[in-house]
Every structure is written in C-alpha cells, then in structure tokens.
Amino acid sequence: MTDLTTGESFFTVFICNFHNGSRMNAVPHSVQDCRVVRLAGALGAEVYGIDLARLSTKQEIDAIKQLLLQHLVLFFPNQNLTVDQHVEFGRMFGPLEGHPNLKNPFTQHTELFELAATHGGVADEWHTDITFREEPAVMSILKMVRCPEVGGDTMWASLYAAYEEMSEPMRSLCDGLTALHDAHPHNRPEQMAVHPVVRVHPETGRRALYVNEHFTRRIVELQATESENLLAHLTRWVTNPRFTVRYRWTPNCIAIWDNRCTQHFVLNDFVGERIIQRVTVMGDKPMGVKGSSWQPWVKPGPSTAASRHDRQLKRFLKEKQVRENQA
Ligand SMILES: O=C(O)CCC(=O)C(=O)O
Ligand SMILES: [Fe+2]
C-alpha cells in the first residue's frame, strides 16, 4: 500500500488499495487499513479492517459511500453492532424511515425492522426495496442476526449491467417508458407510484433498469398484454447470473446496498430460523432519461371483461388527476 497523503487534505488524498492487482479501490487515509475484496464481476465487495461501531466522521462515511458507488453492495463481516449502534450508523447516511407496511418489534427505534423466517419473513422474490413509494429508499443497511448453517444466501443484481447489456433498440424503447409499482405483495394495492423504467443514478449518472418482479405491475404506456410480456422479459433479464452476486452469510455481518441501482433476492432453501434487522435511508424521486415519451394506455370505450387488466392503472391515473386538481 502506498501512502500518497502526507500533509494533504482529506478530499484530495487517497490510498491505493489493490486486492488483486487488477482493480484500484480508492480508500481515504483514515480507513486505510481496510481491505476490499471483490466478489463478482458485476457488483459486490467484502470490506475488512473497519469497525463500523467506531466510525464517526463525515470523511469516513463519505469513504464508505464512495465504495458503495463503486461496488453497489458491500459486506462487512464480523461486526458487532448493537441495535442502538446499527441505528446510529444508519443515521450517518441520512434520515431513516421505518418500513411502511411491515411490523417493527423495536418500539424504541421505529426506524429498525426485523424479518424472521419462522414468521414468514423471507424476501424470496426479486425486488428493489419499497418502489411502491414516490421516493424509494436510497440505501438499506442490514444486519444478519441469525442465519442457517447452510442456505439462506442473498443475491443482488446490478441494474446498471442489466441496462448496459440490452440491445440498443430495447434500451431506446425502455428509456421512454414508465412503470406503475404497487404494494400488492403487502396487501396494500392502494400504495402506488410511477417511476421511469430506466433510472438515471443521481450520483453516477449511469442508467439502471428499474423494474422488479415484486412491485412493478404495469408499463404505463403499453397495452396490458404488451406490458405483461415486456415486464416478464425485463424482470427475468435482470436476474441473469452474470449481473449478480450471491452472498453466503455469517452472523453479525453487515450489508449495505445502493437501492437505486440494485435488486436483491433471498434463497429460500433453508430450514430453521433466519433473522435479519434492517435500517433504511430515506429516498429520493427516481429521475428518468427523458420523461415519458407516450401517453398512458388504457382500453378505450366502456369497460368490458378485458378492462380489468387496466383497473389498477386507471385507479392510479384517476387519483393523480384528483391530486393535481387539488394542488
Ligand atoms: O433477508 C435478506 O437477506 C434481505 C431481506 C430484504 O429483502 C431486505 O431487508 O430488504
Ligand atoms: Fe429487500
């Protein structure tokens, strides 16, 4: 490791940390002992040598943010954060929000929630967190509290890779589309938001394919069957193994992911208990490449049997109209 920093200000100064000689990770001096080990071609890195409970300066948090922009999901094994420290750590990245629909057993920390497998808490469908909201979470910070000896791995997919590897005509089509997301999986179909199908990451400027199997219901500008087929293709495409990393957990590992350019999925291949706790950094409004290029498509004329496929979109559009009239 080469020290280039002596006497210079923090923001201009980096230590070069090579883990395999092929890729440089720029890590600020104050966390120079950390070792970054990439886990897959598309995304994911393990970080060793940082005690997350002791991080406190803006520079240290900025260093983690930089690593996250680079690797999209970071894993910090063998951290011993208490519930208080976990929440405190999360707050350093921005205001936290509790989960809008899932139970939270921690009354002293409404921002922290827990998923226990024995209570059905297994997120075994590909998703980006809470995209049914107008401003989905920026990032999530998860603590693995209890994991099975075997199984229960989590996978993440890079939505940059998914976008960048599509053909040009497909990218061009997707650039001009928006999609309706809803909280149907939480039995809250009235919670809805429309987001661009291609999201431009506000910090990197890169484009990400922003539709997911769990919450994305309908491409707004397409006819219902077209939407169904395109969504089936895109949500499957995102899960191409080449765009993913699969992580095998150990207890007390902390994972941080950038929710603006990734999806994740838990392998429900285990027996017994598996418990995670998560805090979530509040979100921003996803921006697209150029806005919607076409009008919403709903079946014209009086309602018929087939109109049911447009019902949720019609509901969204009607409520939007009411909101706009009130504003
Ligand atoms: O249990 C996991 O590994 C991830 C759960 C999940 O989807 C989440 O916390 O957002
Ligand atoms: Fe999730």
Give CA–CA dist 115/277, Å, rounded. Answer: 6
* pLDDT given for residue 17 in this prediction: 37
Residue 31's pLDDT is what?
A: 62
Q: How far apart are CA 38 and CA 53, in angstroms?
A: 23
For ligand 1, mutation pick of 101, 142, 145, 147 (most atoms within 8 Å of CB): 142
Sequence length of the chain is 327
Question: Pairing relation of β-strands 188-196 and 198-200?
Answer: unpaired
Ligand nearest, relative to CA of residue 154: 1
Structure-block tokens of residue 165: 């590897």
d(CA 267, CA 256) in angstroms, rounded, equals 18
pLDDT of residue 23: 37
CB 148 within 8 A of CB 272: yes
Burial pattern 164-173, b for ≥16 Cβ within 10 A else e, equals ebbeeebbeb
Ligand 2 centroid–CA 302 distance in Å is 39
C-beta of 114 in contact with ligand 1 (< 6 A) = no
Q: Which helix (H) or strand (E) holds 325?
A: helix 311-326
155 and 264 Cβ atoms separated by less than 8 Å: yes
- C-alpha of residue 123 to centroid of ligand 1, in Å: 6
Beta-sheet strands, E only, within 133-260: 139-146, 154-158, 178-183, 188-196, 198-200, 207-209, 216-219, 244-247, 254-258
Residue tagged active-site, from 218, 260, 264, 274: 264
In this structure, are residues 195 and 131 in contact, taking their beta carbons and an 8 Å threshold?
A: yes
Ligand lying closest to the C-alpha of residue 268? 1
- Please give the pLDDT value at position 13: 23
Our measurement of the distance from residue 300's CA atom to the centroid of its chain's CA atoms, rounded to an integer in Å, reads: 36
Of 127, 199, 201, 218, which residue is the catalytic one? 127
Q: Which residue has the tokens 């199908």?
A: 197
> For residue 278, what are its two tokens?
């998560």
Instruction: Say which DSSP state 305 is in.
Output: G
Which among 233, 201, 220 has a CA at the least distance from the CA of 293?
220
Is the CB of residue 141 below 6 angstroms from any atom belonging to ligand 1?
Answer: no
Alpha helices in 34-109 (DSSP H): 58-71, 83-91
Q: Does the beta carbon of 276 lie inside 6 Å of ligand 1?
A: yes
Helix, coil or strand: residue 263 = strand
Nearest to 140 by CA among 101, 184, 81, 97: 97
Cβ atoms within 10 A of the Cβ of 207, count? Answer: 23
Judged by its nearest atom, the ligand closest to the C-alpha of residue 115 is: 1
Q: Consecutive sets of 10 residues in the chain, 327 residues long: mean pLDDT of each?
A: 26 30 41 87 97 92 96 97 96 92 81 94 96 97 97 98 98 97 95 98 98 98 97 98 98 98 98 96 95 89 89 94 91
Alpha-carbon distance 111 to 281, whole Å? 9
Instruction: Write out the two tokens for 167.
Output: 């053909």
Please report which helix (H) or strand (E) contains residue 74, including its range.
strand 73-76
Reply yes or no on whether 127 is catalytic. yes
Element (H, E) at 37: strand 35-38
- Say how many CA atoms lie within 13 Å of 34 toward its Cβ: 28
So what's the pLDDT on residue 32?
Answer: 62
Task: Check if 137 has its Cβ closer than 6 Å to any atom of ligand 1.
Answer: no
pLDDT at 303: 87
**184 vs 317: CA distance, rounded Å:** 17
Q: What is the C-alpha to C-alpha distance for residues 246 and 236, in angstroms, rounded to an integer?
A: 17
